[in-house]
Structure 1
Amino acid sequence: MLTPLVTPKAAAMASTLGTFGPIILAGVLGILLIALAVPIMLKERSDPLNKLKQAREGTARGEGPRLRHADRKDKLERFSHFLEPQDEEKYSAVRMALIRAGYRTKSAVRIFYFAQLTLALGALVVGLVYILFLAATSDEPIGTPQIMMAALPALIGYMAPKRWIASRAEKRQKQIIEGFPDSLDLMLVCVEAGQSFDQAVMRVAREMQTAYPALSEEYQLISYEIKAGKERASVLRDFAERVGVPDVSSFVTVLIQSQTFGTPISESIRVFSAEMRDKRLMRAEEAANKLPTKMTLMTMALTVPPLMVILVGPSVYDIYLTLNSGGVPVGR
């Protein structure tokens, strides 16, 4: 009968890393080979026809033609075809999410995907090092729970940039919602004082910079685009799309209709400003009405357990003593 041939090295590896030792080593070697092969593939010279195609795709996305060469300090420019999604809809969605979070630079999409890739690979390497250290210091074989512990940090590192962008966008939208009624009141005062809409937007952006910087930044962008010669209706629609707040979208619709039908802007702003003040009051009343319910739940959660311990604890203790004494009641 033939016996399987096992080398001393294989036996030592199996005793150290367990039954999944070859799989772990193969995974580490695969990651190292990918890390070495990716820079070589990315350094490959691109075809001029592909450059023209990418330029046309950038023009279709609204980036416009490149009149100047890319900045040499942008190290991720040559990896754009690897770090940026090639689908136009996906690229636009990621770009809009980053803009709503406050990241407007041209390389924001590349930096976002680079952060995801770096954090995921870094966390995976840390997890593999931890497994190897655990296998070297422990006699127990490596199992599925340990492998999941190595994969979980990589998943967390991949999802962390998305969570950061979503949290930052939510914070900016909340700040815009809180400061929007005040900005409308100030805009109404400026318009009724004789200023044009463009001058009123500039003044509101300057006055709101300290209290609500996110809203001030959006108003400044509106002013710059109007100065650049862009049509006002298009500027306002872009403003509503960038912000993603329903109140701002309604206000933009009112302004466009006022410009279309020739009604005074001051009247439109006055009516909409009063409506925004009422909505802010309603939001405050809603939060105040929710407070008693939240306090009741917390009060029950913090009061009922100690009360149950005080009331039921002595009886449970007496029952425990009675059972241990053979059924004879024991007095305190």
Structure 2
Amino acid sequence: MTGFITSLSDPAMLASVLAALAMFATILSLTMPLLKGDRLETRLKQVTTQRERLRRANRDALEKRGLKKDNSGRISEITGKLNLQKMLEDPNVERKLIQAGMRGPRPLAIFYFCRFVLPMAMALVSFLYIFFVNDLGLNPQMKIGGVVFGAAFGFYAPNLYVSNKAQKRQHSIMRAFPDALDMLLICVESGMSIELAFAKVGAEIGAVSVELAEEFQLTTAELAYLQERRTAYENLAMRTGHEGVKSVCMALMQAERYGTPLGDALRVMAKENRDMRMSEAEKKAAALPAKLTVPMILFFLPVLFLVVLGPAYIKYQEMQAKNYATTEVGD
């Protein structure tokens, strides 16, 4: 033990030990990069695997929610056999159905089936009512006109239903869209990707607008599996059919193309949509006095006249009764 301690105090021994440690450290520093391998390639493979997994999950979510519908069913078979889609072709009907939230070939087949059947059904009902139930005192020409009007109403009834449903859906989307943009801006500025931001906002905004949450979740899925983000943004603008959403999608496409910060674009678009919502509210408030004119004339003014002139009329009647009684006593 004493010899070992003595050897450690020897300068030559210490120099040998330090030289050996320096050589070991040099060899280790030279061989470590070879032992580590390509970490960048490994991480890129992990990212690719994760992206593919998310893509499959989004596709499964689309199928579970029924967004990918088949064209099976009795109505679809009848529509295909009669070739109603070609006979009653409307180039804008598919876009209108998508804006109303009815996606896939099955709603399209039902639409054309209703457009084919309802005119005949409404014409038959009008004919039976006018000619057999109650003729309403009409001449033959007016009776025929009533039947034709019933057929025309049956032909345009599906369009009216789809347009009304699309308008209600658009109103629900735009009512919550400015708040959704604010949430999207917070998510993007916190470091989230645009796909995760759409998914997060879609999950949170469902309590306010189910339709907007559905559109955001569908956009998330399209961003995951479509080759170009531009297509996903264009589909979102087409499905909503509102100028505010179109401007936001255009800003997102420009940010993707030119590399500008998404936060700045979303901040500007959020402010514009809030101003748009405020202007719509001010427009409705400004139109309220004109809309209340007829109800005031029909309901408020008669009651007001009754309240104001009623006591005076009662007082006048009492005075007339007293004068009549005094005249009777005098006679």
Same fold (TM over 0.5): yes
Of 125, 128, 153, 2:150 maps to 153
Cα deviation, residue 246, structure 1? 0.4
Aligned residues: 238
Structure 1 residues 48-87: aligned runs within 5 Å: 72-77=72-77, 79-80=79-80, 82-85=83-86
2:182 paired with 1:220? no
Counterpart of 2:115, as a letter, is Q
Code of the residue aligned with 1:276 in structure 2: it is: N
- 2: CA distance, partners of 1:141 / 1:288: 45
CA–CA separation in structure 2 for the residues paired with 1:98 and 1:141: 39
C-alpha root-mean-square deviation of aligned residues, in Å? 3.0
**Following the alignment from structure 1 to structure 2, what is the Cα–Cα distance between the partners of residues 226 and 254?**
16
Is 2:110 the partner of 1:111?
Answer: yes
Residues 264 and 285 of structure 1: CA distance in aligned 2, closer, same or farther (over 3 Å): same
Instruction: Tell me the equivalent position of 1:317.
Output: none
1:194 aligns with 2:195: no
Over 3 Å counting, the alpha-carbon distance change for 1:297 and 1:145 in structure 2 is: closer
User: 1:4 is matched with which residue?
Assistant: none
Highest CA radius of gyration, 1 or 2?
2
1:249 to 246, 250, 270: 246
Given that residues 180 and 205 in structure 2 are in contact (C-alpha distance below 8 angstroms), is that contact kept between their aligned partners in structure 1?
yes
Spell out, residue by residue over 1:74-123, the C-alpha distance to the aligned partner (whole angstroms, 9 max, x if none).
54235326210369xx5441110111111102122221121122222122
Given that residues 79 and 112 in structure 2 are in contact (C-alpha distance below 8 angstroms), is that contact kept between their aligned partners in structure 1?
Answer: no
| Structure 1 contact 188–269 (Cα < 8 Å) conserved | yes
Partners of 1:74 and 1:306 in 2: CA distance: 58
Name 2:129's counterpart in structure 1. 130
Q: Is the 8 A contact 1:131 1:147 kept in 2?
A: no
**Displacement of 1:253:** 1.2
Consecutive unaligned residues in structure 1, runs of 5 or more: 1-69, 315-332
Which residue does 2:267 correspond to in 1? 270
TM-score by length of 1: 0.63
Letter in 1 for 2:128: V
* Overall identity of the aligned pairs, in %: 32
| Separation in structure 1 between the aligned mates of residue 161 and residue 79 of structure 2, nearest angstrom | 23
Distance between the aligned counterparts of 2:196 and 2:120, measured in 1? Answer: 50
Distance 1:160 1:79, change over 3 A: closer
* Preserved contact between residue 173 and residue 211 of structure 2 (Cα < 8 Å): yes
Give me the whole-angstrom Cα distance separating, in 2, the residues matched to 1:197 and 1:76. 38
Aligned residue number for residue 298 of structure 1 = 295
